[in-house]
Each structure stands twice: as structure tokens, then as C-alpha cells.
């Protein structure tokens, strides 16, 4: 029935327009081919399955690339935020003196490419603290960095990571009264919540001093009572041995985290007579300021249901907040190496959202670190630094800047590197992972291509008589081949178009979709406690989307070429007899 209708329709078209127009009129040639393609597409439902396969392949690759590119972009921004554009550092661990002279030398060879510079010191260290009077001592291995609070914010994005709004404008190592952010990314609502930060600052410090003083007295009274009770028990039992005094274990002895640690070894030489005789009052004074990563302070995340909004919230638990005191221990810059220690007061927390940095880096004033480590040139007496951080002007090729500076200084003494060089392995690993994902997802397109090939081969066999009729009416081999190529092109273009719409729609509503999937699966699909992202980051790259669509269309077209050649090679007489 369908074949008879098709023959009748074709005869009418040919008789109306004539053989001349059929052979020579380009528009008519294209029109009849497209009409046949459209008819095949509507009547052959198996072809629609191939279009669905192409659509799902395109949508999947767009979504995966957008999410992976979002993660990669966010990670690179965070890495670059802590690191400067170019890093000039000494191979010698003791550093080099007179940073101003070196910065002038760098300016002389690349001043037209440089925006700003700042000296820094970096050394391994140990951070020690007690979260409570009766708590165990906690030690954290860290990287201690001495920075210039005036110029460091000009070469890195450290100001953006501060939790106090004034420190985000102008960095300071002085403790603020209050006003620290209680939500992630300094938002007023949403994000990860940190209730402890609500009381951070001088108010918390004064309260803690008072509370610890009271707890200290209670602890001493309890120890005296325990001693008396122990002596009474020994007497009542007529013990042969005299009563002994109970000495609590050193780990149980109360340590006032606000008590000033006595300077040891060379550190005493840096204290004046007035400083040695001064009685430190933690309620009104602070030690040298220190900024620690939020990963050092955090000891876990939990999810709670807000009774007011009935929504799930993520809460951070913090061991240390601005107002607490810590002890930093680090090696001196002299030989033989000695261990140096000093007390510091936390004045702010920073959150770059790179756990590698947030759990390792601690910042202190560079002059204080130079003083404590004895970083002074024995000949000139000028302070020494470990490295110089350089921020390039907008649009400058960092590799060219790096090479220009490296030529000026001997490679045996100094190393010049970009921020990408510093994290080359990590960035390469992420892009390799993205490439592997694209290769695996490309299999979807290949499967769709085999589907198109199989369906077209079946259609050629099924439509053998139709092909014979078209050839007997004057259609060329090239024209028959074009019908099936256009058919596959229509499937590729249609599938890619619907895949593009589906993929972009999924990306726009990815947060809502993740919420629905979490409810259905009864498990958090995207857990911010694991990924350190409160929302799924997505970045749509138009170039990537273009190549995904082109690849899908090409695979669809190539899959239809072999069946098209089979159809074009059929002879009209044999086709009509079959």
C-alpha cells in the first residue's frame, strides 16, 4: 500500500515538472531528495532510535565537559589565587639577602611586563595548640610563610580568601573586635555555616581568658581535694609505705594557651629588658598575628535540618577561631640548625577551597619570621628572604616573562617558574582525566554510528523496489546515494540539535536535578563535605560544544555512506524484479 502511494506521488511530480527540470533544476533535485528523506524518517521508527542515541551522546558529552571544565577552572583559579604569576626563588634553603636589590634587577630586565612584586619566606614548621584546658595537645605539620601585609595582596588573591571584610580590603595582623564571616564565601546566607565565627575576635578572646581562669582555679581545687582524699585512704588502710604525692601526667596538666611561652635559646637575644619584664595580659593584648588555613582549624562537617526553613544545611566545626593562641615551632636559619618557638594569636582564617593549601599554609609577618629565625646576612646585616613573588601585567605571556628573568640570573643559584610550572603534574592529571572521559563517551557516538549503519542497510534492502523505480524514472546513482546521505545527515543534525538543547537545559537546572536524584537514591549525589564545593561548578565552552556537534554529525554521515553506495550500485531491472 505504502509502496503504491509512493510510486503514484513520484509519477505526479515527474509529470508536472518534466524530465528537463528533474535533471537540470538544482532546487527540484534537492527537494525530491529531502521529501523522500523526510518520509523515510517518519515511517522508519528504528531511525528515530538512532537519532535518540546521537542526542544522548551529544547531551552527555556537553554535560560531562561542562562539569569537568567547571571543576578544572575552579581548581586553577584557586591554585592561581594562592600562587603568584611568576616565582623567583633561591635554591639555597637559607635564602638570599637584600630583596630590594634583586627586585630592582628583575625590573631592569622585565619591568615593562611586571605589575608588582613582594618578598616572602617559606619554611616547614609545626603548629601546636590545645582546643581546651582539659584537651590533648594537637600538633599539625604546616608550611610557614612570612609575608609583607602591604604588598602581598597585590601579587595574589589572598585578600579574597579572608573571613573578615576589613582584611579583604586591607590585610592586617591585628585582631578585629568582631564581624567575621559565618557563611562560606563570605555570603550572608547559603553555603557552609560556621557558627563559631559569630563570636570570633576580641570579645571571644576576653571571654575565653575569663573562662579558662575560672576552669584553672576549679582544676587546682579538684587536684587538692583528690590529694587529700588519697592521703586519707592510705591512712585508713594503715599503709606500710608513707603516702606518696600524686603527680598528674604531663598530658593532664593544664596549660594556659594565653600564657606567653618563654623564649628559648637565641630568641632571648631579640627581647629587650622591658619585654622580658613585661607581664603579658591576654585579655587586653595579643601576640604576633597569624593567619591559618581553615582546613587546619576544621575537624569535621555535619548536615542538619534547619527547623525554620526545613532545608538541609552543612555546618563546619572549628577547633580554632580568631582570638585563639597557638605555638609555632620552626628551624633557625643558622648552622647547626636549632628549633625555635614562639606564641602567635590567630587574627583571621583564609579559605582558598584547595584542601592542599587550606590544611598546610600559615601566614605570619615577614619581619617577625626573619627575627625569630635569625635571617640576616652576616656580612651586610640585611634581612634575607626565600623568594620573590611577581605579578605580571594583563595579557603578558608568563613563559616569556619567566625565561627573560631566568636569563638574567644563574640557574645554579635561582629558579624562576610560573604558577602552572608549580602545579604542572596536578593540572596535567586533570586534563588527562578529561581526555579519557571524552574517549570513553565517544563510544556512545560509535554505537550510534553502528546503529545507523545497520538500520540503513535494512532500509536499502526493504526499499529495493523504490530504488528501481527512481532509477527507471531517471534518477542517477549519485542522486540515489544523496538520498541516503541526506537521511543520515538529517539524523545527525536532528540528534545533535536535540542533544544540545537537552545538555544545556540539564546544565541550567543541574542543582535541582541533583536534589531530585539525591531524594530518589536516598544518598547525596554531590556532597559538599567531600568536594568542598557547595554547588556543582559548570563552564560551557562554545568551542568544545561546536566540535562535539561536528563529531556527532560526521559519524552519522559516515555511517550512512556504505548503505548509500550499496543503494546506488543497484541496477533498475534487478531492483524491480526483487
Task: Report whether 83 contacts 382 (CB < 8 A).
Answer: no
Q: Which of the 8 DSSP states describes residue 172?
A: -
Q: Where are the beta strands (DSSP E) in 168-240?
A: none
Structure confidence at residue 82 (pLDDT): 80
Strand duo 138-147 + 414-418: pairing: unpaired
**Cα 4 from Cα 16, distance rounded (Å):** 19
pLDDT at 407: 92
Spatial separation of the C-alpha atoms in residues 196 and 183, rounded to whole Å: 11
Query: What's the pLDDT at 22?
Result: 45
CA dihedral 334, 340, 345, 348 (to 10 degrees): 50
Name the residue among 368, 347, 372 with its Cα closest to residue 297: 347
Rounded Cα distance between 538 and 553, Å, is 25
Identify the pLDDT of residue 41.
Answer: 60
Report how far residue 472's alpha carbon sits from residue 121's, in angstroms, rounded to the nearest whole number: 87
Kindly give the parts of the chain with pLDDT less than 70. Answer: 1-47, 132-134, 185-191, 237-278, 461-467, 469-480, 524-525, 527-534, 567-578
Q: What is the pLDDT of residue 114?
A: 93
Three-state DSSP at 210 gives helix
**Residue 414: in which H helix or E strand, if any?**
strand 414-418
Contact 148, 387 (CB under 8 A): no
Residue whose C-alpha cell reads 575569663 in the numeric block:
210
DSSP letter assigned to residue 262: P
Pairwise CA distance, residues 527 & 382, whole Å: 51
User: Nearest CA to 204 among 196, 213, 193, 195?
Assistant: 196
Burial 190-217 (b: 16+ CB within 10 A, else e): ebbbbebbebbbbebbeebbeebeeeee
Q: How many CB atoms lie within 10 A of CB 575?
A: 19
pLDDT at site 442: 78
Distance CA 402, CA 551 (A): 38
Range list of β-strands (E), 171-311: 288-293, 298-305
pLDDT of residue 171: 92
Three-state SS string across 462-498, please? HCHHHHHHHHHCCCCHHHHHHHHHHHHHHHHHHHHHH
Grid coordinates in use for 281?
595580659
Q: What is the pLDDT of residues 332-360, one digit of tens each?
A: 888 788 899 999 999 999 888 777 788 89
Position 552 scores a pLDDT of: 87
Q: Residue 351 in contact with residue 163, Cβ under 8 Å? A: yes
Whether the upstream peptide bond of residue 457 has omega within 30° of 0, thus cis, is no
How far are the Cα atoms of 281, 290, 338, 370, 371 from residue 275, in angstroms, in the given order?
13, 20, 23, 18, 15
Question: Are 110 and 405 spatial neighbours (Cβ–Cβ below 8 Å)?
Answer: yes
Distances (CA, A) of 20 to 14, 232, 254: 10, 126, 106
Provide Rg for the chain, Cα atoms: 37
Look up cell 605579578; give the residue.
391
Q: Report how far residue 319's alpha carbon sits from residue 40's, in angstroms, rounded to the nearest whole number.
A: 69
> Could you tell me if 159 and 362 are in contact, meaning their C-beta atoms sit under 8 angstroms apart?
no
How do beta strands 325-331 and 387-392 pair?
Answer: unpaired
Burial class of residue 355, CB neighbours in 10 A (0-12, 13-18, 19+): middle
pTM of the predicted model, to two decimals? 0.70
Amino acid at each position: 500500500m505504502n509502496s503504491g502511494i509512493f510510486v503514484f506521488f513520484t509519477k505526479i511530480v515527474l509529470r508536472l515538472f518534466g524530465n528537463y527540470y528533474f535533471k537540470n533544476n538544482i532546487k527540484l533535485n534537492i527537494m525530491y531528495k529531502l521529501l523522500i528523506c523526510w518520509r523515510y524518517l517518519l515511517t522508519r521508527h528504528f531511525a528515530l532510535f538512532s537519532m535518540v542515541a546521537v542526542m544522548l551522546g551529544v547531551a552527555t558529552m556537553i554535560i560531562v565537559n561542562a562539569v569537568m571544565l567547571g571543576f578544572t577552572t575552579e581548581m586553577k583559579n584557586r591554585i592561581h589565587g594562592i600562587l603568584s604569576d611568576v616565582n623567583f626563588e633561591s635554591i639555597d634553603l637559607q635564602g638570599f639577602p637584600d630583596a630590594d636589590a634583586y627586585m630592582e634587577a628583575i625590573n631592569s630586565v622585565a619591568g615593562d611586563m611586571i605589575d608588582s612584586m613582594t618578598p616572602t619566606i617559606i619554611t616547614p614548621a609545626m603548629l601546636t595548640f590545645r582546643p581546651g584546658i582539659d584537651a590533648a595537645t594537637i600538633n599539625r605539620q604546616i608550611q610557614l610563610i612570612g609575608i609583607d601585609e602591604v604588598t602581598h595582596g597585590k601579587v595574589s588573591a589572598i585578600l579574597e580568601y579572608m573571613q573578615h571584610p576589613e582584611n579583604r580590603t586591607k590585610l592586617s595582623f591585628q585582631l578585629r573586635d568582631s564581624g567575621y564571616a559565618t557563611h562560606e564565601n563570605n555570603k550572608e546566607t547559603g553555603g557552609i555555616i560556621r557558627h563559631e565565627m559569630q563570636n570570633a575576635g576580641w570579645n571571644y578572646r576576653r571571654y575565653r581568658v575569663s573562662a579558662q581562669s575560672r576552669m584553672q582555679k576549679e582544676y587546682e581545687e579538684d587536684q587538692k581535694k583528690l590529694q587529700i582524699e588519697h592521703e586519707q585512704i592510705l591512712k585508713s588502710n594503715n599503709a606500710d609505705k608513707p603516702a606518696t604525692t600524686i603527680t598528674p601526667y604531663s598530658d593532664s596538666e593544664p596549660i594556659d594557651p594565653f600564657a606567653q611561652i618563654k623564649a628559648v635559646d637565641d630568641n632571648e637575644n631579640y627581647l629587650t629588658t622591658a619585654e622580658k619584664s613585661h607581664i603579658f595580659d591576654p585579655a587586653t593584648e595579643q601576640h604576633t598575628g597569624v593567619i591559618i588555613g581553615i582546613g587546619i582549624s576544621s575537624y569535621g562537617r555535619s548536615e542538619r535540618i534547619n527547623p525554620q526553613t526545613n532545608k538541609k544545611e552543612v555546618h563546619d566545626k572549628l577547633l580554632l577561631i580568631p582570638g585563639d593562641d597557638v605555638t609555632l615551632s620552626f628551624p633557625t636559619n643558622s648552622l647547626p640548625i636549632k628549633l625555635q618557638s614562639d606564641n602567635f594569636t590567630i587574627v583571621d582564617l583564609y579559605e582558598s577551597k584547595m584542601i592542599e593549601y587550606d590544611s598546610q599554609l600559615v601566614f605570619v609577618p615577614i619581619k617577625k619570621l626573619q627575627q625569630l629565625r635569625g635571617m640576616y646576612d652576616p656580612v651586610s646585616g640585611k634581612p634575607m628572604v626565600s623568594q620573590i613573588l611577581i605579578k605580571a601585567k594583563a595579557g603578558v605571556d608568563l613563559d616569556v616573562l619567566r625565561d627573560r628573568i631566568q636569563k638574567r640570573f644563574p640557574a645554579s643559584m635561582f629558579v624562576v617558574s610560573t604558577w602552572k610550572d608549580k602545579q604542572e603534574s596536578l593540572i596535567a592529571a586533570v586534563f588527562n582525566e578529561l581526555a579519557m572521559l571524552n574517549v570513553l563517551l565517544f563510544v556512545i557516538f560509535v554505537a550510534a554510528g553502528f546503529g545507523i549503519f545497520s538500520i540503513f542497510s535494512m532500509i536499502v534492502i526493504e526499499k529495493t523496489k523504490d530504488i528501481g523505480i527512481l532509477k527507471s524514472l531517471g534518477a542517477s546513482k549519485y542522486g540515489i546515494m544523496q538520498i541516503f546521505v541526506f537521511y543520515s545527515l538529517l539524523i545527525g543534525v536532528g540528534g545533535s540539535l536535540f542533544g544540545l538543547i537537552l545538555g544545556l537545559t540539564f546544565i541550567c537546572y543541574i542543582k535541582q536535578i541533583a536534589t531530585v536524584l539525591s531524594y530518589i537514591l536516598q544518598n547525596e549525589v554531590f556532597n559538599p563535605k567531600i568536594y568542598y564545593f557547595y554547588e556543582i561548578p559548570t563552564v560551557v565552552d562554545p568551542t568544545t560544544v561546536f566540535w562535539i556537534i561536528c563529531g556527532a554529525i560526521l559519524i552519522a554521515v559516515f555511517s550512512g555512506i556504505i548503505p548509500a553506495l550499496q543503494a546506488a550500485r543497484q541496477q533498475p531491472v534487478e531492483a524491480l524484479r526483487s
